[in-house]
Homo-oligomer: A and B are copies of this chain.
Amino acid sequence: MQVYLVGGAVRDQLLGRPIKDKDFVVVGATITEMLDAGFQQVGADFPVFLHPISREEYALARTERKQGMGYQGFSIHASSDVSLKDDLQRRDLTVNAMAIEVTSITDDTPISGDVIDYYGGLDDIKSKSLRHVSSAFSEDPLRVLRTTRFYSRYYDLGFTIADDTLALMRELVNSGELAHLSSERIWQESSRAMMQLSPQVYWQQLFDIGALTEHFTPLHQAWNDVQIREMVQTALYFSGQMQLNLSQRWALLMTSLRPSIFNIKPSDLVDSEAAISTKRIIDIGNMAKVPKSHTQFASLFVQQVEKLTIVSHITAAEKIDLIQACSAHKAPEKLSQLLVTSQVLQLAIQHCQMMLALNSFHAIGMQDIDQNLKGPAIGKALRQCRIEHLQTQTA
């Protein structure tokens, strides 16, 4: 019997990231041997076991073969003659398909520091590439979301999705396979991706390959407006930098469904639009099986966002009404979270606007002004030209 530490723990150790869960693969053992050693089987037909003390996962080496559509259609072959190499081959990405041999099922001390790497994971760590292990990648449509989640997870390290892998992902999307994924699995991947440092990368990439059309249709539609897409992605970027919680991040994503938020003139806003947006948020929440608390927080945010934005300038009556609307008298921390979310949204809007102004600043140079000008007149003319450029951009 050989035991290997595999997957995320090996990957994160190589990347110098904190290791959360340790998963192990056991080669050359039977179910009976595992049960005899005191391990607890997870599900009657599935060869995965929990360590009696550490509760870490130990799986018998196995191969999988696709049989039907979607995530469920697999036949699993686990026996003592399945090799580590076979087991690693069925995995999604090369960076997730490396192993380190450990002493035994009761002692996870590595036998040596050597990383077992059949599929080029070490090279891909070096070149910062998320690459599929084999064409079997396409057998599971969830891997479209999973690979994108890893992209958002390691985006700050400079990782990208390999061209070939991205092509497979696009094929999977185009084949309509994503429709067969359960909402639970989609939310599981999406909510985990949302809590990464770069949540915007997940949604942007899925949008780019058309993967939002099935389960997040209203979001896909809203993001056809490039300005809204950029504002919301910037807001998500800041939500990662500022460590906002999942409800707050979800609320920022859901502001996409109320486009008037991004309109500079508040006079355009009408109450009926808030009601329509709320319905859209509830619809998307039902479609993607989003936990109710997040949908409620997002709805409240999108309804109250104008008031929240200008809290310093609203009347005493509006403040008292805002407290009532947010149930802040029962849960003051929720009001606090709403205020933070509103400021992050404002920050994103301001950021996008100032980046536009910065573009105008850089777009205008000496070639754009009268060449005969001298001294302070040059600066004055540049300034005027830049202002005019920016005015045409935002008209």
**Chain B residue with Cβ nearest A395:** B316
A321 to B, closest residue via Cβ = B383
Does A339 touch B at the CB level, under 8 Å?
yes
Q: Is there an interface contact between B354 and A311, defined as CB atoms closer than 8 Å? A: yes
For A344, the closest partner residue in chain B by CB is B343
* A354 / chain B contacts, CB cutoff of 8 Å: 311, 319, 322-323, 328, 335, 339
A161 interface residue, CB < 8 Å from B?
no
Interface: A386 (CB within 8 A): yes
Kindly state the separation between the CA atoms of A266 and B209 in the bound complex, as whole angstroms: 47
Q: Is the CB of B323 within 8 A of A358?
A: yes
Q: Per-position contact with B for A338-360: 1 when CB-CB < 8 Å, else 0? A: 01100110110111011101101
Given A243-B243, A328-B358, does the pair A316, B350 have CB atoms closer than 8 Å? no
Within the complex, the shortest CB–CB distance from A344 to chain B, in Å, comes to 7
Copies in the complex: 2
Q: Which residue of B lies closest to A315 (CB)?
A: B387
User: Is A332 interfacial (CB 8 A cutoff)?
Assistant: yes
Residues of B within 8 A of A312 (CB): 264, 346, 349-350, 353
A292 within 8 A of B: no
If A340-B347, A347-B343 touch, does A361 touch B242 (CB 8 Å cutoff)?
no
Is A377 positioned at the interface, with any CB of B under 8 Å from its CB? no
In contact, B344 and A390 (Cβ under 8 angstroms): no
Closest CB pairs A-B (n = 10):
A319-B357, A311-B350, A316-B390, A242-B242, A343-B347, A343-B343, A316-B391, A317-B387, A320-B386, A316-B387
Kindly state the interface size class of chain A when it binds its partner.
Answer: 35 or more
Complex CA–CA separation, A350 to B310 (angstroms) = 8
Q: CA separation between A20 and B36, bound complex, in Å?
A: 43
**19 CB-based A-B contacts, threshold 8 Å:** A238-B340, A242-B242, A243-B243, A308-B350, A316-B387, A316-B394, A317-B387, A320-B387, A322-B354, A322-B357, A323-B357, A323-B361, A324-B383, A328-B361, A329-B358, A335-B354, A339-B351, A343-B344, A343-B350
Rounded to whole angstroms, the CA-CA distance of A241 and B242 in the bound complex is 7
Q: How far is the CA of A320 from the CA of B242 in the complex (A)?
A: 28
Residue of B nearest to A392 (CB): B316
Interchain CB contact under 8 A, A332 and B347: no
Question: Is A17 an interface residue, CB under 8 A from the partner?
Answer: no
Q: How far is the CB of A112 from chain B (nearest CB, A)?
A: 20
In the bound complex, residues from chain B placing their C-beta under 8 Å from that of A243 are 241-243
Contacts of A313 in B (CB 8 A): 264
A238 to B343, CA, bound (A): 12
Chain A 103-137 per-residue mask, 1 if CB under 8 angstroms from chain B, else 0: 00000000000000000000000000000000000
Q: Mark A357-395, 1 if CB is under 8 A from B, else 0.
A: 110111000000000000000000001001110110010
Contact between A316 and B357, CB atoms less than 8 A apart: yes
Residues of B within 8 A of A346 (CB): 312, 343, 346
Quick check: A358 and B339 within 8 Å, CB to CB? no
* Additional A-B contact list (4), CB under 8 Å, known A264-B312, A320-B360, A339-B347: A242-B242, A320-B387, A340-B347, A343-B346
The answer, yes or no, to whether A336 is at the interface (CB within 8 Å) is: yes
Contacts of A323 in B (CB 8 A): 354, 357-358, 361
Cβ of A337 to closest chain B Cβ, rounded Å? 11
Please, which residues of chain B bring their CB within 8 A of the CB of A264?
A: 312-313
Specify the chain B residue showing the minimal Cβ separation from A242.
B242
